[in-house]
Amino acid sequence: MLVNSLVLTPLQADDPCDRAASLAIRITDLYDTLRTVLPPTCLLRRDEPLAKRTTLRVGGPADLLVEPDSENSLRVVMELCAQLDLPSCVIGRGSNLVIRDGGIRGVVIVLSHPFFCSIETQPGRLFAGAGARLKAIAVAARQAGIGGLEFLEGIPGSMGGALRMNAGAMGRWTFDVVERLRYLGPDGEIHELAGAEVQADYRNCPLLRSGIALAAILQGELADPETVRVRMDAYSKKRWSSQPSQPSAGCTFKNPSVSQPAGRLIDELGLKNLRVGGASVSDVHANFLVNDGTATAADILQLMALVRARVQEMRGIDLHPEVEIVGEDLPS
């Protein structure tokens, strides 16, 4: 127990109104407790808007948002959430994420404090905290003459998110280059594993569905910085010529197969520019749903459902979301 002196009893309720009242009381209890036990360098905010923290720019607020300033602070937050029976989730830079318009009940944790964003290089290797931006990692690798990490440059996320989703680009995947993973387990303890010991497949790392990525050591190879720069520039040019500039969550659906990308399938069915409210299928890349600045999460989700229904009807293929969908709808 990290907070031995606290005795916090979760409240139980069967009626929806009672459950909402119980949740509100527990959130207040947690907020007041965290203000006491955490250092002032930890950010705490009630009813924090989350749309601005996502690349899609939609979604409602978090009941409570916490930015821990250390691994110990994160462990305290997780322990208190467990004691109070409060749901919690971690978001990174908010790419690959759709937050419903009603927001997220419970606690949202963001590992964006400088403690979690550190990047350190050694010959052929790089240490990155979970909050480090992938573009910053790729740039640091280039400057240090580390090749093999260029594919991270254009992925709009953080190290933690890339590990959890086994993010990939340009034919490479995050766990292709992970030498060692550091994570907080559901048991409240910090663990380290060799990358080769971690199961990871297409857009998924099961270990990090219950655990929280803290940091990783990435293995590259010694390379001339100019050679790395040329490769990064080529990747960047390809990405910007094939992906939309409007707000999006990245690729919306998983590819049904290697030979049948979701974007090509949606394009072949003539669904580019299909629109619901402020959301539309991009005319640049059909697997991107974009926000014209007025979209709601409900628009995005309705458009996703419409695309899936059309593909199922016309090709007999059930597209599965690649984006994470979290939170609650607004009350009807």
HSE (CB half, 13 Å, CA atoms) of 18?
A: 6
Start-end of CATH 3.30.43.10 domains in the chain = 16-114
Which residue type does 180 have? R
pLDDT band at 310; cut points 50, 70, 90: very high
Region 244-325: CATH code: 3.90.78.10
| Distance between start and end Cα atoms, the chain | 41
Mean confidence (pLDDT) of the chain: 92
Burial 295-326 (b: 16+ CB within 10 A, else e): bbbbbbbebbeebbebbeeeeebebebbbbeb
Q: Is 103 left (phi over 0), alpha (psi -120 to 50) or beta?
A: left
Does residue 19 carry a pLDDT above 90? Answer: no
Start-end of CATH 3.90.78.10 domains in the chain = 244-325
Average pLDDT on 8-23 reads: 64
CATH assignment of 118-227, among 3.30.465.10, 1.10.10.60, 3.40.50.300, 3.40.190.10: 3.30.465.10
Looking at per-residue confidence, does 172 or 64 come out higher? 64
CA distances from 240 to 186, 225, 282 (A): 39, 22, 13
Does residue 9 carry a pLDDT above 70? Answer: no
pLDDT band at 57; cut points 50, 70, 90: very high
pLDDT band at 7; cut points 50, 70, 90: very low
Looking at per-residue confidence, does 7 or 205 come out higher? 205
pLDDT of residue 291: 98
Start-end of CATH 3.30.465.10 domains in the chain = 118-227
Under CATH, to which class is 16-114 assigned? alpha beta
Average pLDDT on 167-192 reads: 93
Does residue 68 carry a pLDDT above 70? Answer: yes
CA distances from 58 to 215, 285, 308, 327, 331 (A): 28, 20, 21, 12, 17
Its pTM stands at: 0.89
CB 64 within 8 A of CB 31: yes
Percentages helix, strand, coil for the chain (3-state, rounded to 5) are 35, 25, 40
Rounded Cα distance between 169 and 95, Å, is: 14
List, for residues 205-224, the tens digit of each pLDDT value.
999 999 999 999 999 999 99
Does residue 243 carry a pLDDT above 70? Answer: yes
pLDDT band at 315; cut points 50, 70, 90: very high
Does residue 5 carry a pLDDT above 80? Answer: no
pLDDT of residue 67: 98
List of residues 6+ apart from 147 with CB closer than 8 A = 141, 220, 221, 222, 223, 227, 228, 231
71's enclosing H/E stretch is helix 71-83
CB 109 within 8 A of CB 73: no
